[in-house]
Structure 1
Amino acid sequence: MFTTVASPLTAAEPADPVISSIGTPTLWAATIGFVIALIALDFVLTRRPHEVSTREAAAWSAFYIALPLAFGAFVWARYGTEPGSEYLAGYVVEKSLSVDNLFVFMLLLAGFAVPAALQQRVLLYGIVGALLLRGVFIAVGAAALQAFAITFLVFGIVLIATAVKILRDAVQGHEQQVDVDRMRSVRLLRRFFPVTGEYQGPRMLTRENGRRALTPLAVVTFAVLGTDVVFAIDSVPAVYGITGDPYLVFATNAFALLGLRALYFLLNTALSKLVHLGYGLAAILGVIGVKLVLHWAHGVWPSVPTVPTMVSLALVVGILVLVTVTSLIATRDREEKSPAVR
């Protein structure tokens, strides 16, 4: 379906970026069909709005973690160590970035006062929109990387710039905030359509004073889809820093996104404890950005080294473990000191 470019972290000779892809038409069709089936199942399960329990969220989270790991084992056994390690590293990167996305989803749902019973439907719409947008970004990215070697440099600069912004916000202690009334997507929608003041179950359209109007559910869904564009700009170049195979890029994105709905409800309270996540994401994006720049430089000056995928995987996992441990320690110390402050 797509032409594959060599992995930016493992290619020995980037002068000729075309390599054989594991993404045969049959594998592409099977994977896309399986993803569509899972999405359809999610829509069936959420057709009747209900508040998600911790037990339900934990069960689905376990399923959506076991599934991509099993697929990774299949890739490793069927296609070898290099594709297997690239898939695993890409999945870990995408999953870590998706956790940061959950912060924004949490703020949007709170800002729009979405009823608990409707939250999973909003998340599901957001996941479908993200999959479609990233599919476009993956195709465009593959074509750009195939045609222009300097695309590696552009992707690297984008990731490094994003890493600097995230790090600056983390150092300055800026808390993520969303003013829904000032969001461009919300203002654009309200400019052309009237919006009702109350939710009406899972309905997005209704009639008010004899004319069609949007419900708040439609507005928050549109806002979530708007943020999907921003997320795709970071996540797709990031995983292209791990593997140049568009099939593996799609698979890592799809599996990371499919489990977001359940993960949101499982980590809804725990997310606030990851106070150092910003530092970790900045480090991860910075590392991958540097690797992309090095890959581009290696094509111009062959003496410039590149870094194996396993090294990148070790760095990403190590960073995530470190910031998780330091976050939990910082949160515990803050909670222990808070009674004395009161």
Structure 2
Amino acid sequence: MTETLDRTDTLAGDILSTARQQVLEEGRGLSEAQVLEVLRLPDERLEELLQLAHEVRMRWCGPEVEVEGIVSVKTGGCPEDCHFCSQSGQFSSPVRAAWLDIPELVKAARETARTGATEFCIVAAVRGPDRRLMSQVREGIKAIRDAGIEINIACSLGMLTSEQVDELVEMGVHRYNHNLETARSYFPQVVTTHTWEERWETLVMVRDADMEVCCGGIIGMGETVEQRAEFAAQLAELGPDEVPLNFLNPRPGTPFADYPVLEPREALKTIAAFRLALPRTILRYAGGREITLGDLGTEQGLLGGINAVIVGNYLTTLGRPAEQDLKLLADLKMPIKALSDTI
């Protein structure tokens, strides 16, 4: 038993030493196999791992934290069967289809900007945008600009055609969000109405059109640690500007309603591992962190690789009050990234 423990400690020391040289000093992200070693570190090495991830974040991203708010212009009634999502029209979850009007959209953008956020993301629960939705997005962006609200506008409207990508660029959309959700090998266990490859194709078109790419996923949907490492490597291959990390918040009426909430140590280990795989990427706290990590864990993540947060509520779940997150950033002496720094 003692020999086994000694061997584990040696391995743990080896991967962190390797990461310190490769990632911190040279700026090269860990490979899939290396990420898996990190994810398998014993819990007693977590503090050391988080410290290294924080050093990597500070060296390659700096101390600023990017703040974002999101709003749904079309909620519920989605034809897809993403097993984690209460907005699917195929499940018995309580969310029902609803549209947000333009004045409410402008109000949400103004309230988001008042928090100091630099990003405002317009989201719709759809497979992909039809002409009505594209027209509403265009009208909404124009109304936000006409109101003099200074904030970058992002969109998350599902899978796109090349013509729709060009149209969003012409509208002035700063960043496009389309999550891969999980590793390619696990995706069929999460969604059956479309493929991982279809999502990837949209992301490549967005990247090639010079819009910023926002792509992440949800941790804790039953995937293995090997698949988490696979997912990190696939994101590194894509090279997104931002990776939102969500943790499953099981929703009533969905196929994942009875899944357990991820253990906090596993969540923190995942945050740090993704930072070591993606040293220069914006790594954003997104949905589920409140029930997975609580207040203490949220702070640990900000000191373990996270450098962006969504403030306020999410699409169908409650978040922390924006003031609470902003106070935490102030207490940690982490400056909020200025708008001019994101353009």
TM tier, shorter chain?
under 0.3
Higher strand share: 2
With normalisation by structure 1, the TM-score equals: 0.26
State which structure, 1 or 2, has the greater radius of gyration over its C-alpha atoms: 1
Higher helix share: 1
Bigger relative contact order (CA 8 A; separation at least 6): 1
With normalisation by structure 2, the TM-score equals: 0.26
